[in-house]
Structures are given as structure tokens and as C-alpha cells.
Amino acid sequence: MSVHHAGLLRKDRNLVEQMFKEGNIKVLFSTATLAWGVNLPAYAVMIKGTKMYDSASGEYKDIGVFDVQQIFGRAGRPQYDTEGEAIILTL
């Protein structure tokens, strides 16, 4: 189990990504840093909550449908799986 977020040094993020890709990390908790363009072998993706903090406005705002699709698109990548699961948890 590990974490991945923008506060990590680039070398540490790369290490976490490599270890996850190799199967050495089975569960990876991440912020939206992995939502865009990272191709990792995730069978299942879960979104906990649908709001993100917007520092410009100082409030939480709903994440967009396109962002949800991008995050869910990380599950079941064709190079790694024939299917995937996506789960969204909200209050």
C-alpha cells in the first residue's frame, strides 16, 4: 500500500508509479495526480467524494464529469486487463 500526490518529490512519485506497475504495490491512494495520462495497471478505481478545494475561490467545488471520466478511465486499461471497475462514493 502506498500514496501518490503532488507534494511528493518527482523521484518519489516515479518510484511509486514503477512499484505499482510492477505489482509490488497492490493498493495505491492518490489525489488527482494520477487522473491524467498515467497508464498504470489498475483494475479498480474509486473516487471518494465529488468535490475538490478551489484555492482561488476558497471553497469546495464539484469535480466535472470529464474529470470523473478521466479518473474512471484509469481502470481496466487494455494493456493490462480485459475489464475494470469504477466506484464513486458520495455523501
Which of the residues in the chain have pLDDT under 70?
Answer: 37
The beta-carbon contacts of 43-46 under 8 Å, at least 24 apart in sequence, are: 43/75, 43/76, 43/80, 43/81, 43/84, 43/85, 44/75, 44/84, 44/85, 44/86, 44/87, 45/71, 45/72, 45/74, 45/75, 45/84, 45/85, 45/86, 45/87, 46/86, 46/87, 46/88, 46/89
What gap in Å lies between CA 44 and CA 27, rounded to an integer? 10
pLDDT at 43: 93
Q: How many domains does the chain have?
A: 1
Question: What is the reported pLDDT for 12?
Answer: 96
Dihedral of CA 7/20/81/43: which sign? negative
Whichever domain contains 25, its CATH number is 3.40.50.300
Q: Which domain holds residue 21?
A: 2-89
